[in-house]
Chain A
Amino acid sequence: MSKDTLIQQFENKMLSHMDSAYNLARWITGHDQDAEDVVQEAYIRAFRGFEKYTDINSLSWLLTIVRNTSYNWMKSKHGYRHLIEFDESVHSATDEPGFVGDRSQDFRQDAILNSSRNKDLLHQALKEMPLIFREVIVLHEIEDLSYKEIADIVGVPVGTVMSRLSRGRRRLQKTLASRLSRRNQVEL
Chain B
Amino acid sequence: MSCSQVRTILYDYINAYVDEELSTTDHSAIQKHLEVCAHCANEKFQIEQIGNTIHNQFSYSAPYGLKENIRHTITGLADSDINLSNVAKRRFAWRWTYYVIPPVVTAVAAVLLIFSMMPTQDEVMMHNMMEQEIVSAHVRSLMEDNLLHVESKGPQEVKPWFNNRVDFAAQPEDLAADGFSLKGGRLDYLNKHTAASLVYESDDHIINLFVFPTMEADMKSFKNFQNRGYNIVKWVNKGLEYCAISDISLDELNKFARVYRKKITSPN
Within A131-164, the residues touching B (CB, 8 Å) are 137-138, 140-142, 144, 146-147, 152, 155-157, 162-163
Within A14-72, the residues touching B (CB, 8 Å) are 15, 18-19, 21-23, 26-27, 32, 35-37, 39-41, 43-45, 47-49, 52, 61, 64-65, 68
**A109-B231 Cα distance, complex, nearest whole Å:** 42
The answer, among A6, A35, A166, for a CB contact under 8 Å with B11, is A166
Is B57 interfacial (CB-CB < 8 Å)? yes
Give chain A residues whose Cβ lies under 8 Å from the Cβ of B50: 109, 113, 122, 169, 172-173, 176
Majority-rule SS of B interface residues: helix
Give chain A residues whose Cβ lies under 8 Å from the Cβ of B107: none
Flag the segment in B74-82, B110-118, B258-266 that touches A.
Answer: B74-82
A-B contact pairs, 6 of them (CB 8 A): A22-B66, A41-B87, A44-B84, A99-B11, A147-B21, A155-B231
**CB of B159 to closest CB in A, whole Å:** 31
Is A170 interfacial (CB-CB < 8 Å)? yes
Give chain B residues whose Cβ lies under 8 Å from the Cβ of A113: 49-50, 53
Is A123 interfacial (CB-CB < 8 Å)? yes
User: Given that A36-B66, A61-B229, A155-B249 are contacting pairs, would A101 and B43 also be in contact in the complex, using a CB cutoff of 8 Å?
Assistant: yes
Contact A99 B7, beta carbon cutoff 8 Å: yes
Is B217 interfacial (CB-CB < 8 Å)? no
Contact B63 A156, beta carbon cutoff 8 Å: no
Give chain A residues whose Cβ lies under 8 Å from the Cβ of B33: none
Give the interface residue-count category, chain A: 35 or more
Is B106 interfacial (CB-CB < 8 Å)? no
Task: Determine the residue in chain A with the shortest Cβ distance to B231.
Answer: A155
**A59-B124 Cα distance, complex, nearest whole Å:** 31
The answer, among B7, B15, B63, B82, for a CB contact under 8 Å with A98, is B7
Give the interface of B toward A (CB within 8 A): 4-5, 7-8, 11-12, 15-16, 19, 21, 39, 42-43, 45-47, 49-51, 53-55, 57-63, 66-67, 69-71, 73-75, 77-79, 82, 84, 87-88, 91, 136, 139, 143, 226, 228-229, 231, 247, 249-250
Task: Determine the residue in chain A with the shortest Cβ distance to B250.
Answer: A155
User: Given that A27-B60, A142-B58, A147-B21 are contacting pairs, would A122 and B53 also be in contact in the complex, using a CB cutoff of 8 Å?
Assistant: yes
Chain B CB within 10 A, most for which of A123, A155, A170: A155
**A61-B11 Cα distance, complex, nearest whole Å:** 31
**CB of B136 to closest CB in A, whole Å:** 8
Give chain B residues whose Cβ lies under 8 Å from the Cβ of A10: 74
**A106-B143 Cα distance, complex, nearest whole Å:** 58
**CB of B122 to closest CB in A, whole Å:** 21
**A79-B78 Cα distance, complex, nearest whole Å:** 33
The answer, among B63, B71, B79, for a CB contact under 8 Å with A11, is B71
**A169-B82 Cα distance, complex, nearest whole Å:** 43
**CB of B230 to closest CB in A, whole Å:** 10
**A86-B15 Cα distance, complex, nearest whole Å:** 21
The answer, among A26, A41, A99, A152, for a CB contact under 8 Å with B60, is A26
**A147-B21 Cα distance, complex, nearest whole Å:** 8
**A52-B132 Cα distance, complex, nearest whole Å:** 13
**CB of B174 to closest CB in A, whole Å:** 25
The 5 closest A-B pairs by CB, nearest first: A97-B8, A22-B62, A166-B15, A64-B229, A141-B54
**CB of A107 to closest CB in B, whole Å:** 10
Contact A7 B53, beta carbon cutoff 8 Å: no
Give chain A residues whose Cβ lies under 8 Å from the Cβ of B63: 22, 32, 36
Contact B8 A19, beta carbon cutoff 8 Å: no
User: Given that A68-B226, A97-B7, A162-B12 are contacting pairs, would A142 and B61 also be in contact in the complex, using a CB cutoff of 8 Å?
Assistant: no
Given contacts A113-B53, A155-B249, 16 further A-B contacts (CB under 8 A): A10-B74, A18-B62, A22-B62, A40-B70, A41-B88, A65-B229, A97-B4, A99-B7, A100-B43, A100-B46, A105-B42, A147-B16, A162-B15, A162-B21, A169-B15, A172-B50
